[in-house]
Amino acid sequence: MSANSGASVTLVRNATVLATVGKTTFLVDPLFSPQGALPPIDNTPNDRPNPLVPMPDIDLSYDAVIVTHRHPDHFDEAAKEELDADVPLFCQPAEADAFAEEGFTDVRPVEDAASFGGVTLHRTPGRHGHGELAERMGPVSGFVLEGDETLYLAGDTVWYEPVAETLDRFEPDAIVLNGGTARFNEGEPITMGVDDVAAVREATDAAVAVVHMEAINHCLLSRETLRSETEDVLVPEDGERIEF
């Protein structure tokens, strides 16, 4: 891969990644709080304060921001304070007003598709869990970034038919999944676990990387377990860059 083509992803922490397609880099789901500065997610199997781990020491250079949804482990108060008010910020239509009320001046809700820096952004469906719990979790989205290469950021979703349809429609070169098997004390997991990741792996020839692990108290799936129970899946450490 040359410096100006292809795609790469750097995992910052949790679901915060730097996703580069061609010459354009997007900061996705910024969680900037220091280790332990946020309360635990309620009604979950352990009560450790969040984030569980510190921010890695990496260069946070980017051209625009994508927020898949406004849960506090994907967009926090520290990010609201640190991001420039005029940064191009792509989001779900249902959450655009909230960003504008917080003082962001270049909010770009994506109904279906948008373009930026030679990249086409397609908003894709997600389901944050199963049944009634997924309804209570509110709307979530993924994004496909289409340029010289096509990168699918699935967001907080489990494996279900619209994810398979997104794979068929866009035939991505690389995929970033949010793992962790996040869950509450009741109900099924609300993010991907081993079986979900394996289903994606089976459905596509794309490179598959999994993030959203070991950073928030209700994410119970470890990197070690995921690596041992799947094949041909990339599981980056915080601060690690993957070139596709």
pLDDT single digits (tens) 63-109? 999 999 999 999 999 999 999 999 999 999 999 999 999 999 999 99
Sheet holding 119-125, edge to edge: 113-116, 119-125, 141-146, 150-153, 174-178, 207-211
Nearest to 153 by CA among 129, 181, 127, 172: 172
Higher per-residue confidence, 187 vs 1: 187
Nearest to 240 by CA among 9, 68, 2, 6: 9
pLDDT of residue 5: 66
Nearest to 119 by CA among 105, 103, 108, 106: 108
Looking at this protein, which amino acid is placed at residue 132? E
Phi/psi-derived region of residue 227, left when phi > 0, alpha when psi is between -120 and 50, beta in every other case: alpha
pLDDT of residue 153: 98
144 - beta bridge partners? Answer: 122, 152
Mean pLDDT, rounded, for 191-203? 98
Is the pLDDT confidence value at 1 over 60? no
Q: Say how far apart CA 107 and CA 96 lie, in whole Å.
A: 6
> Which H or E run contains 156?
none
Domains of the chain: 7-236 (3.60.15.10)
The pLDDT tens digits of the residues spanning 88-97 come to 999 999 999 9
Per-chain mean pLDDT for the chain: 96
Q: Which residues contact 101 (CB under 8 A, 6 or more apart)?
A: none
